[in-house]
Structure 1
Amino acid sequence: MSLLEVLAVLFSAAGVWLTGRRLMLCWPVMLVASVLYGVVFWQAHLYADTALQGVFAALSLYGWWGWLRGVAHDGAVWSVQPPRNAVVGGVALGLVAGLLMGAALLHWTDDPNPILDALLSAFSILGQVWMARRYLVSWVVWLVVDVLYTGLFVVRELYLTAGLYAAFVALAVAGWVQWRAADAAEGINAQRE
């Protein structure tokens, strides 16, 4: 465990906590976390996750912009119910992209868990894009991804990061509940993008 990993954990936890509260500040905080974790994962030879942090940095800017378009009267954002074909298509694309990236990692790198690393990276991108679009279902993606990442990080001996992802599981559940409750209170939960 390094100071860099500790800082990455703190910024990541703060970013997810702010996201659960639907506060715009989550995006710059998550941008910093992505940069820090990019270095941590590079040092751990988790190359898909290293690249993922670059994608997350770009998606933080996209999310910031996207959330500016969905601000409620109290300054928080509201969620959007995606069309069914967007959900099915997103999951299928995540699976195909993850398997293709996993095959590349298996062939060209020393990644010790190439398929899992790649699938989790692909579905993390899906979760982040859906979060940027304010899809309530993004919390379900994060719940599954965070459970699996917890195990991967234990195997890679990134124990503090594994603890963070275990906490992310609880934060994903809390985010789901908070977003549903806020939308129900505001009567927005039926909106479609």
Structure 2
Amino acid sequence: MLHSLYEFWTSAAGNSPLEWVAVITGFACVWLAARESLWNFPVAIFSCLLFAVVYFRGKLYSDSILQGFFILMSIYGWYEWLHGGKQDTALVVTRTRPWEWVVVVVGVVVFTLGFGYYLQHHTDAAVPHWDSFTTAGSLAAQYLLTRKRLENWLIWIVVDLIYVPILWYKQLYPTSGLYAVYLILAAYGYVEWRRAARAAAATETPVV
């Protein structure tokens, strides 16, 4: 038992400094997002650049490509949080629209099956379909986050539950641990944003 723990800590400590910096900045950007801070976007852009390299080295190609989309969506989200509300005002937290749920579900299924098939037959991807599913789920959650939809945190919880064992399997121990922490942050974010959504809805309710 002690020998196994020693091997784990030795392996984790031996992971690249690049991964550790990506982990720390990744934690920071999610915590900032849960706090509705605009700083989550510049921190996310920097973290995604690092994770693109980390995932590529781990042969998680779909997740590596995903970081590029995250960077673009972070730029978009930065603008939306500032100007995406009514009359060019800052966005407030709202519920996901029914049509958005349809787009999210269909998009995740199609992407998972299609890109998973491509990775399985044309690359040496470690876990092609799971890799594709977490990628699709992450894209869906990130889009909802850029629009300040409350339920983005529920999707992140599902995605994080899958990421933890996948990254552990690939011996990316610090990153796997980060996604375990993400689970806690996602739950925290959901509670905080639900409170904010209720406050925003109460403010918009007309007085009779």
Could you tell me the TM-score, scaled by structure 1's length? 0.92
| Cross-structure match for 2:198 | 184
| Pairing of 1:96-175 with structure 2 (within 5 A) | 96-175=110-189
Map Cα deviations across residues 4-34 of structure 1 (whole Å, 9 max, x no partner).
0000001110000000000111000000010
| Cross-structure match for 2:99 | 85
Q: Distance in 1 between matches of 2:203 and 2:188?
A: 17
Q: Distance in 2 between matches of 1:188 and 1:46?
A: 44
Q: Compute the displacement of 1:93 (Å).
A: 1.1
Q: Distance in 2 between matches of 1:174 and 1:37?
A: 23
| Larger Rg belongs to | 2
Q: Distance in 2 between matches of 1:58 and 1:40?
A: 19
Q: Which structure shows the bigger proportion of residues in helix conformation?
A: 2
Map Cα deviations across residues 66-101 of structure 1 (whole Å, 9 max, x no partner).
111257xxxx85212222121122111111111100
Q: Distance in 1 between matches of 2:94 and 2:122?
A: 39
| Cross-structure match for 1:36 | 50
5+ long unaligned stretches in structure 2? 1-14
Q: Compute the displacement of 1:189 (Å).
A: 9.0
| Structure 2 CA distance for partners of 1:45 and 1:22, relative to 1, 3 Å | same
Could you tell me the TM-score, scaled by structure 2's length? 0.85
Contact 1:81 1:190 in 2 (8 A): no
5+ long unaligned stretches in structure 1? none
Q: Percent identity?
A: 36
SS at match of 2:59: coil
Contact 1:180 1:189 in 2 (8 A): no
Q: Distance in 1 between matches of 2:99 and 2:128?
A: 29
Q: Does 1:64 align with 2:53?
A: no
